[in-house]
Structure 1
Amino acid sequence: MDVPGEVDEAIAAELRLLEPSVRSSRALSAELLDPDFVEVGASGRRWTYEEILAALPEMAGGSEEGPRYEPSAMTGTALAPGLVHLTYDTHIDGRHAHRSSLWRRHTDGTWRMYYHQATPFPT
């Protein structure tokens, strides 16, 4: 199932969430994360919406001067109208991770990340 434009919209939102200016801003990050958000990070830690909003500015990729996430091979599939699954790889500061995200469209038309998982892999 491919709903025209939905995968592209989710990819654009995912790329925005990787920008240091967004990661360093609780308000901008909150616009892109679902209130029911859950993440299983590369460390294995489970993060909730509030925990990730509090920690994101201090995490990797949160500074304009520091290292940035370099995404590659991003692809997506519309699982249902308003629900998109993205997969891709990232590289930052010598670390690599396979990533998987679920994005859902809210009634106001905005896309918000509902779930994210990162799995480290060796170079």
Structure 2
Amino acid sequence: MDDAEDDVTQAIAAELQLMDPRVRASRERAARLLDPEFVEVGGSGRRWTYEAMLAELPDHQGSSEQGPRYEPSGFSGVVLAPGLVHLTFETRLGDVRTRHSSIWRRTDPVAGWRMYYHQATRVPAGVV
């Protein structure tokens, strides 16, 4: 595996961690995976910042061990520059299908990969 493939693999592993209800329910664990400059445009159109996401993530769907869990598929990734990976994929959470785009960056070898940007778009029923 070359360095680019390894970077994409590590970014995917970090993305999957963020879908784990135990991580989503823990501000401390989620904070290790979100970049301090994190921004998200959610499926609802809401803009999320690092602090807002950490404050509300435990209350989002997919954050409870007893509730529905994210079912990811179709991961694709590309290295945009050293330490910068763009991922695309889909998820299902219950009956909701969503397409995702995220940018992961590694600014510090100790901190590892952190999500810098995320965009989610709900896919209407019947759309391929």
Question: Could you state the TM-score of these two structures normalised by the residue count of structure 1?
Answer: 0.96
Aligned 1:26-41 pairs, distance under 5 A: 26-41=27-42
* Structure 1 residue 99: Cα displacement: 0.2
Aligned 1:77-116 pairs, distance under 5 A: 77-109=78-110, 110-116=112-118
Distance in 2 (CA, whole Å) between partners of 1:4 and 1:39 is 25
Structure 1 segments unaligned to the other structure (5+ residues): none
* Structure 1 residue 7: Cα displacement: 0.2
More strand by share: 1
1:15-57 CA distance string (max 9 Å, x none): 0000000000000000000000000000000000000000000
Which residue is equivalent to 2:122? 120
Matched length? 122
Which residue is equivalent to 1:53? 54
1:54-74 CA distance string (max 9 Å, x none): 000000100000000110101
Structure 2 segments unaligned to the other structure (5+ residues): none
Distance in 2 (CA, whole Å) between partners of 1:55 and 1:23 is 10
Distance in 2 (CA, whole Å) between partners of 1:41 and 1:85 is 17
Cα 1:54–1:107 change in 2 (3 A) is same
Residue type of the partner of 2:92? H
Question: Could you state the TM-score of these two structures normalised by the residue count of structure 2?
Answer: 0.92
